[in-house]
Amino acid sequence: MNILVQKVARIFFVGLFIVSSISLLAWEIYNLNSLTGSKNVLTFSVFDGPEKDKGVILGEANSREIEEVFISDEIGSEDARPLIIKRYLEKYKSPLAPYADLIFELSQDYGFEYYWMVAIAQQESNLCKKIPEDSYNCWGYGIHSKGTLKFENYEIALRSYAEYLKREYFDKGMNTPELIMKKYCPSSNGSWAYGVNQFIKEMETGTF
């Protein structure tokens, strides 16, 4: 009788173990399917400094999409504006990239938005990649039949252009691409203002 009881008990515990194992396996499969179906798979940090704990959600996004998430998240921060300028200039391989901080400082000193000098340079010279030789003039101003306005380097050009924008446009109430175009590029059919608006939007939203 004792032997029979032992056999029944052994069969019961073996069966219980098998059922438990099957249940655990089914639960793992369910979790794996849920995880695979979700785009919010992992978080990681790209910061080495004080912000190292700030993560971003990864899923099916590629590195370009992740970069845009970071830029978009930072758009609302005033401190992010120099970074936006730098990333935008680097994206298009502009020779102005090393001057991102100066561009921001000049916009602050003269009281206009950070994106103006970059957006107009993008419209006029593909961010300084198509300019008169040895001119460092990325904005197409001071270029006419009588000659071409040239500078010794990009820093001098930037400082001159910032002062020019404030004096000749913003101080006179011309503070939109459409208003600026009427004096800056009066022969344009509207494409000049359209292009500048597009480049401003790219910088403001981080979609570049």
Residue 3 is classified by DSSP as: H
| pLDDT value, residue 121 | 98
The pLDDT of 40-66, averaged and rounded, is 37
Higher per-residue pLDDT: 21 or 189: 189
Q: Are residues 68 and 145 in the same domain?
A: no
Pair 65, 82 in one domain: no
Mind listing the pLDDT tens digit for each residue in 77-120? Answer: 557 999 999 999 999 999 999 999 999 999 999 999 999 999 99
The answer to whether residues 122 and 183 belong to one domain is yes
Q: State pTM to two decimals.
A: 0.64
Res 142: pLDDT: 86
pLDDT on residue 63: 43
Q: Are residues 22 and 112 in the same domain?
A: no
Listing DSSP states for 61-95 in one string gives: --HHHHHHHHHHHHTT-GGGHHHHHHHHHHHTT-T
Residue that wins the pLDDT comparison between 54 and 9:
9
User: Which of residues 62 and 140 earns the better pLDDT score?
Assistant: 140
Q: What is the span of the domain harbouring residue 139?
A: 78-205
Banded model confidence at residue 18, pLDDT cuts 50, 70, 90 = low
Averaged over 70-80, what is the pLDDT? 58
173 token code pair:
């109430």
For 24, 100, 141, 177, the CA distances from 117, given in Å and listed in that order, are: 62, 11, 12, 12
What's the pLDDT tens digit per position in 142-180? 877 788 899 999 999 999 999 999 999 999 999 999 999
Provide the β-strand partners of residue 57.
Answer: 43
Do 23 and 83 fall within a single domain? Answer: no
Spatial distance between the Cα atoms of 175 and 169, rounded to a whole number of angstroms: 7
Q: How far apart are CA 118 and CA 205, in angstroms?
A: 15
Tell me whether strands 143-144 and 55-58 are parallel, antiparallel or unpaired: unpaired
Query: Structural domain tally of the chain?
Result: 3
